[in-house]
Amino acid sequence: MIYFKNVSKIYEPQSVGVRDIHLQIEHGEFVSIVGQSGSGKTTLVKLMIAEERPSKGSVKVSGWDIASIPKKSVSVLRRQIGVIFQDFKLLHNKTLFENVAFALEVCGIGNERINEIVPQVLQIVGLEGKRDRYPHQVSGGEQQRAVIARSLVHRPKILVADEPTGNLDAINTHEIIEILKKINEFGTTVVLVTHNKEVVNSLRRRVVTLEHGTVVSDQEGGKYVL
Ligand SMILES: Nc1ncnc2c1ncn2[C@@H]1O[C@H](COP(=O)(O)OP(=O)(O)OP(=O)(O)O)[C@@H](O)[C@H]1O
Ligand SMILES: [Mg+2]
């Protein structure tokens, strides 16, 4: 479902993002991507969501060839991939419900469907009781849960989360990881980028370690040892 073959991304003029990546992620997997700052994790994520294109090699996601995907298809691809970045912000002047609904409105989806889908995804992240609060009226962990809810509105086949717990304490981090596990159990492939050793070690799932833009280890039930 996600397939990297001999992939390099060199940013102009000469900055290596990733180099010679071979990676295959199957439907339903939960994969953590770890590595030090600058090792290429976000570059890998950006290639998966067609925010960057490979300089060399082939990236395929859900059947699309990222090197040649037409602009039109990028939005179709993005609906199949939920994306969460640490710095993704909610809109301050909208409630949690409205924030999640907005992701559907911009795609021209009508109120009837919105009123069906938004409560469902808010329930998955445990926020149905706080749907009418504004972002500043909930905690950082709850804001991040709302961001996750928003990423689920199109029922993505793949969820890519780049440091989703970066700003959170241990308890909130644990809750977010439990939500990602639940989403994975529903059948969504989860790709989690994290610096958090405890998280990776407690997951006991596949761990891909990057160093200087290349994969140095790829282990099932792996430990984060860097
Ligand atoms: N737009 C860009 N232009 C030039 N170089 C870039 C660009 N984006 C990333 N790089 C370089 O590519 C390398 C990999 O960066 P990347 O952001 O993928 O690392 P990362 O593993 O996500 O790091 P972090 O843990 O700090 O988020 C780094 O050396 C970085 O400086
Ligand atoms: Mg990064």
Percent of the chain with pLDDT over 90: 89
Å from CA of 168 to ligand 2 middle: 16
A 10 A CB-CB count for 163 gives: 18
Q: H or E stretch including 60?
A: strand 56-61
38 touches ligand 1 (CB under 6 Å): yes
Confidence at 87, pLDDT banded by 50, 70, 90: confident
Ligand nearest to the CA of 35: 1
Ligand 1 atom index nearest CA of 213: 14
Question: Is any atom of ligand 1 closer than 6 Å to the C-beta of 194?
Answer: no
| 15 bridge partner residues | 11
Q: What is the pLDDT of residues 2-58, one digit of tens each?
A: 999 999 999 999 999 999 999 999 999 999 999 999 999 999 999 999 999 999 999
Is the confidence at residue 226, as pLDDT, over 70?
no
Q: Which two tokens stand for residue 129?
A: 């009781």
Neighbour-count burial of 116, counting CB atoms closer than 10 A to its CB (0-12 exposed, 13-18 middle, 19+ buried): exposed
Tokens describing residue 177 = 């990881």
Taking only the tens place, the pLDDT of each residue in 143-195 is 999 999 999 999 999 999 999 998 889 999 999 999 999 999 999 999 999 98
In the chain the first and final C-alpha atoms are separated, in Å, by: 28
Burial state string for 42-58 with b = 16 or more CB within 10 A and e = fewer than 16: bbbbbbbbbebebbebe
Q: How far apart are CA 13 and CA 51, in angstroms?
A: 18
Give me ligand 1 centre to Cα 35, in Å. 12
Rounded alpha-carbon distances, angstroms, from residue 79 to 74, 114, 153, 195: 9, 15, 9, 27
Report which DSSP code applies to 112: H
Q: Which ligand has its closest atom nearest to the C-alpha of 33?
A: 1
Distance, CA of 213 to CA of 37 (rounded, Å): 10
Q: Is the CB of 41 under 6 A from ligand 1?
A: yes
Q: Is the CB of 212 under 6 A from ligand 1?
A: no
Say yes or no to pLDDT of 73 above 70: yes
Pairing between β-strand 56-61 and β-strand 30-35 as defined by DSSP bridges: unpaired
Mutate-to-test residue for ligand 1 from 7, 41, 162, highest number of ligand atoms within 8 A of CB: 41
Residue 221 banded pLDDT, cuts 50, 70, 90: confident
What domains are defined for the chain?
2-219 (3.40.50.300)
